[in-house]
Amino acid sequence: MLLWFVGLSMVLVWAVFRSPAVDYRTVALGAVLPVGELAVGRPFLLHTLVAAAVVLAAVVLATDRRGRARRRWLGVPIGMLLHLVLDGVWSDSALFWWPAFGVEFADRSLPEVSRGLFSVVLEVAGAAALAWWWRRFDLGDPERRRTFLRTGRVEASSGTVR
């Protein structure tokens, strides 16, 4: 389950910030990082608010206030936070607010794999969001696509419907 997180995270960040300075590659990276806990077989640290907060603090402390590196890497914790929203982790208080309700991680399945066939619906929605993204930013144009892949930035095409 990747398209749901990548597509919706990038579209939501664009809808909120509408900034050409955002590196959407790092937003997508942050949005899929918690999926890596499939290797553990259950939600763990990356499905908690504290993990996103620690990554945010690390980015802020490790980068210059007005530098490009900060603008680029802020996308990771933003993507991680959006993953928590899109995954519905906020509805599991013990996991979302860990360690506020205890340090043990309950033996539960990952939200990404516990939805059954509804996961297909979410992936289709993510694919639709990515198709919209492709059209909105005219990524069929090789130069625009190269710029996006190289910098993570997008610029709205004047002829594209919003």
Task: List pLDDT tens digits, range 79-115.
Answer: 999 999 999 888 888 889 899 988 888 888 888 888 8
Other beta carbons within 10 angstroms of residue 116's beta carbon come to 7
Please compute Rg for the chain using Cα positions: 17
Report how far residue 74's alpha carbon sits from residue 160's, in angstroms, rounded to the nearest whole number: 28
Residue 73 CA, chain-centre distance (Å), reads 12
pTM of the model: 0.89
Average pLDDT over residues 2-17: 96
Q: Which tokens go with 120? A: 């297909």
- Sequence-separated (6 or more) residues with CB below 8 Å from residue 10: 24, 27, 28, 31, 129, 130, 133
Task: List pLDDT tens digits, range 16-72.
Answer: 998 878 999 999 999 999 999 988 888 889 999 999 999 999 999 999 888 888 889
